[in-house]
Amino acid sequence: MSLSLLNTDFDGTTRGLGAVRELRKGELVLKVPRNALMTTKSMIAKDEKLRNGVEDAVWTTEKAIAKSQSEWNEAGALMKELDLKPKFQSFQAWLWASAIATEANRCSLLPHDHYWISSKRIVTPDGLISGSVEVKGGLIVSVVKEADWHKKQRSRVKVIDYGEAVVMPGLVDVHAHLDDPGRSEWEGFPSGTKAAAAGGITTLVDMPLNSCPSTVSPETLKLKIEAAKNRIHVDVGFWGGLVPDNALNSSSLESLLDAGVLGLKSFMCPSGINDFPMTNITHIKEGLSVLAKYRRPLLVHAEIEKDLETIDGSDNDPRSYLTYLKTRPTSWEEGAIRNLLSVTENTRTGGSAEGAHVHIVHLSDASSSLDLIKEAKRKGDSVTVETCPHYLAFSAEEIPKGDTRFKCSPPIRDAANREKLWEAMMEGDIDMLSSDHSPTEPELKLLSDGNFLKAWGGISSLQFVLPVTWSYGQKYGVTLEQVASWWSDRPSKLAGLHSKGAIAVGKHADIVVWEPEIDFDLDEDHPIHFKHPSISAYLGRRLSGKVVSTFVRGNLVFGEGKHASDACGSLLLAT
């Protein structure tokens, strides 16, 4: 922290900061803007030249400078505790000081490094409890039930009581396209991570494609890291790309993994991005043999193109969603998954790729494709699968004509399939959820034209995955513990982020506080933080589950509709 010290000349009447300093010697640091100095008689520099040249002034004592950063962050709370405003009406700078007392830590809306979060509903690995979570230095240092709360020594430690609101581990979204660098007009790290924070997501793992260039080498990963530095509001990790150029070159893959990607991603069909070509089963097999050494996963987009009858405009209206649905049938998913699972037996104990893991992304077919995955798991293959909220919320029959906001791949299927997906979620056959947030510019969605065959495919959803999951899951009896498992525990384990994913001692203090019973209309008046709200398929929906606060490593990065001033998320690189 950079301190600009300004000499002071107190008159001995112990007013203003002088009084505060006398009351709590050595434990207070306040940062006051220059224009407060210019207009407050009780705060005047001895040297007018010095005063005029100072952008910000820090008033402190020698002892305070030696104190830790965490004590500096207590300044705002101290001012409130001392109730200085009524006592010092003439101290004009009080208004400035109280407004910006948290500038010592612009990463957080909360000027505390050590505090308690209390709630009647805290989701822990041991179930739902009424109690409190102690946060210190960005970590969870204790979790206590309400009955044991009185035993804790908590004098002078801030307590934030959220009442009946749910306190849950922050969401870990392992499948998001933030399009940075190179296509930040589609999204970008700042807007994407702000949307994540507003939605209770504390960790994102960014996909290697849709940025330009794609992340397929140490050099392209470095570009992504540089683009993310000081521009992310939540923690962000990266998947690398498995493509033909590096798949058959083990040293190339090893250098990419050594550079810090959390695992690899491949497509079994054309990705739509020129520098991210599809892989075949040989590429995948070679990739798994390298990943086994690192014990990291391979994420696979599992569709294989098969011959179809030509779709034309005479018998098939391109503005009809059912026309698009015909172009990507369930047989594409089933065929790809069948091929993929022919090599996952190598991931079993004693296999040639033991230590590697295959994760099938955005499953939409809940019939034969899911049956194949269940059988592979039964045999001991190291395989997991995710689906996405849009497959659980929407059905093909209800998609309006020409409404290309709903186009994605694999496609949203019929209502009967949606029911089967929910059954699989509730029975544990689908392991986790992800957003597959895949935005673009509105022009590429062809909203005015409504041509499903030509529009860009991808659902913009990052900010609303928690309320969507909860809202549509109520019919099936979804519990808070299940939501935490699908969105926090299992995704964090997939990505190897073992310091995240649970409210437990020693974990990062990544926490979302939300109110499941609060309904809201997702209309044009609702604040949406991802770049292009107009292309979200969720507009016009009524949802349940309002996010109140989001903490990342103890920093309150989002609270009551506001974000912290600075983007202080951390980069998550594998070592």
> Which residue ranges make up each domain of the chain?
16-105, 170-509
Q: What pLDDT does 23 receive?
A: 38
pLDDT bin (cut points 50, 70, 90) of residue 155 is low
pLDDT bin (cut points 50, 70, 90) of residue 73 is very low
pLDDT bin (cut points 50, 70, 90) of residue 154 is low
Q: What pLDDT does 519 receive?
A: 97
Q: What pLDDT does 33 receive?
A: 38
Give tens-digit pLDDT for 401-442. Answer: 999 999 999 999 999 999 999 999 999 999 999 999 999 999
CB 48 within 8 A of CB 7: no
Q: What pLDDT does 157 receive?
A: 87
66 pLDDT more than 80:
no
Give tens-digit pLDDT for 539-570. Answer: 999 999 999 999 999 999 999 899 999 999 99
CATH architecture of the domain with residue range 170-509: Alpha-Beta Barrel (3.20)
Q: What pLDDT does 380 receive?
A: 96
Burial of 28 (0-12, 13-18, 19+ CB in 10 A): buried
398 pLDDT more than 50:
yes
243 pLDDT more than 80:
yes
341 pLDDT more than 60:
yes
What are the φ and ψ backbone dihedral angles of 442, each rounded to 5 degrees?
-55, -35
CB 138 within 8 A of CB 509: yes
Comparison of pLDDT for 304 and 34, the residue scoring more = 304
Can you state the angle between helices 330-344 and 368-379, rounded to 10 degrees?
A: 10
Cis bond before residue 411 (omega within 30° of 0): no
As a whole number, mean pLDDT of residues 347-354 equals: 92
SS percent in the chain: helix, strand, coil, step 5: 35, 20, 45
pLDDT bin (cut points 50, 70, 90) of residue 45 is very low
Q: What pLDDT does 311 receive?
A: 52
Give tens-digit pLDDT for 258-302. Answer: 999 999 999 999 999 999 999 999 999 999 999 999 999 999 999
Q: What pLDDT does 315 receive?
A: 63
8-state DSSP, 508: B
pLDDT bin (cut points 50, 70, 90) of residue 307 is low
Radius of gyration of the chain (CA): 26
1 pLDDT more than 90:
no
Tokens of 234: 């939540």
Q: What pLDDT does 306 receive?
A: 80
Q: What pLDDT does 434 receive?
A: 99
572 pLDDT more than 80:
yes
138 pLDDT more than 50:
yes
CA 126 to mean position of chain CA atoms: 24
- In 3D, which of 257, 199, 193 has the Cα closest to residue 433? 199
* Cα dist from 385 to 53, 377, 500, whole Å: 59, 10, 20
Comparison of pLDDT for 27 and 526, the residue scoring more = 526
Q: What pLDDT does 61 receive?
A: 35
76 pLDDT more than 80:
no
* Rounded distance between C-alpha atoms, residue 364 and residue 459, angstroms: 14
* Rounded distance between C-alpha atoms, residue 502 and residue 28, angstroms: 34
39 pLDDT more than 70:
no
Q: What pLDDT does 112 receive?
A: 86
8-state DSSP, 173: E
Q: What pLDDT does 426 receive?
A: 98
CA 486 to mean position of chain CA atoms: 14
pTM of the model as a whole: 0.83
Q: Give DSSP secondary structure letters for 124-142.
A: ETTEEEEEEEEEETTEEEE
Q: Cα dihedral angle (193, 194, 199, 203), rounded to 10 degrees?
A: 30
* Rounded distance between C-alpha atoms, residue 108 and residue 551, angstroms: 9
